Amino acid sequence: MEDITLRVARYRPEQESKPTFDEYEVPLREDWAVLDGLNYVKDQLDGTLSYRWSCRMGICGSCGMTVNGEPVLTCAAFLTDFAPGPVRIEPLRNFPVVRDLVIEMTDFMHKLGRVKPWIIEDPQAPPEGEHGEYLQTPEEMEEYHQYSMCINCMLCYSACPVYGLDQSFVGPAAIALAQRYNLDSRDDGNRQRLTVLSEPDGVWGCTFVGECTKACPKGVDPAGAIQRYKVTAATEAAKSLLLPRAAGA
């Protein structure tokens, strides 16, 4: 069987101050994704290689890496698409590297929490259904459904040059997820999220490069979510300027 070369970024902080590349020959099987190639390296060639993965089916969001310069889920990128190789595999860009292909994601987790990505109930409007549930029409679900597909894989942060240059930017996925709840008819948290989203590091940090949307493996369109929220934030700012009393209501 034919082989393909993987050029894999290695960073072993105990022995080197910046990443180097190691090359491995792996079988070029038609049904193998880049992740299968890495698993072959780990199992057969070099057990010291570190990387994250879990589900192998594009839903856990763990195996995002930079392959030939592009941020991709390695479980969804087939080796044959990179033939004859070599395939350059690096950690996701714009994040600090812990080891080899493993990035440090605390910053993203912190930002995700700040936008409160959960349903915030309105205490004045309790659930209306017969069994105390919130009712929602298919049209109401359609409003936010696209944004709910986010799997927190951080490919959009890796593709975003704004985040690369200024880490204080809240970033594409967190804003898209804030919109996922803002547009949900059961949610009443818009005002709480507004303070985070409308600050300079919120939606206004985005210069609409649009690469987040191209990188997204789930079709979420964070760039669209951010531009739409700019309209909301600007409307709210105008309202609070013109009608200071009504704005807080």
Partner 1 sequence: MSTSPDPGFQVRLYRQPVPRFWWARRRSYLLFILRELSSLAVGWFIANLLVLVYAVGQGDSAYQRFLDYSANPFVIAVNLVALAFVVLHAVTFFQAVPQTTVVRLRGRRVPAGLLAAPIFGGWLVVSAFLIWLVVLA
Dump the DSSP string for 56-93. Answer: SSSSS---EEEETTEEEEGGGSBGGGGTT-PEEEEPPT
Considering the rule CB under 8 A, would residue 193 count as an interface residue with partner 1?
no
62 or 94, CB closer to partner 1? 94
- Identify residues 66-85 at the interface with partner 1 (CB under 8 A): 69
Q: Kindly list the strands in the beta sheet with 20-27, ordered across the sheet, starting from the edge strand earlier in the chain.
A: 20-27, 3-10, 87-90, 64-67, 70-73
Considering the rule CB under 8 A, would residue 185 count as an interface residue with partner 1?
no
Considering the rule CB under 8 A, would residue 184 count as an interface residue with partner 1?
no
Backbone angles phi, psi at 93, to 5 degrees: -70, 165
CA distance 42 to 44: 6
Considering the rule CB under 8 A, would residue 86 count as an interface residue with partner 1?
no
Please, how many CA atoms are within 13 Å of residue 78, restricted to the half-sphere of its CB? 6
Neighbour-count burial of 130, counting CB atoms closer than 10 A to its CB (0-12 exposed, 13-18 middle, 19+ buried): exposed
The site that binds partner 1 (CB under 8 A) totals a number of residues, namely: 32
DSSP class of 154: -
* Range list of H helices, 55-203: 106-114, 138-145, 155-159, 161-165, 172-182, 190-197
Report the nearest approach of partner 1 to the CB of residue 41 (Å): 20
4 or 225, CB closer to partner 1? 225
Per CB under 8 A, which region of 107-115, 116-124, 149-157, 206-214 contacts partner 1?
Answer: 206-214
Report the nearest approach of partner 1 to the CB of residue 72 (Å): 15
- Identify residues 102-131 at the interface with partner 1 (CB under 8 A): 104
Query: Of 78, 209, 232, 236, which one interacts with partner 1 (CB under 8 A)?
Result: 209
Considering the rule CB under 8 A, would residue 208 count as an interface residue with partner 1?
yes
Interface with partner 1 (CB under 8 A) = 11, 13, 17-19, 69, 91, 93-98, 104, 139, 161, 164-165, 207-211, 213-214, 221, 223-224, 227-228, 230-231
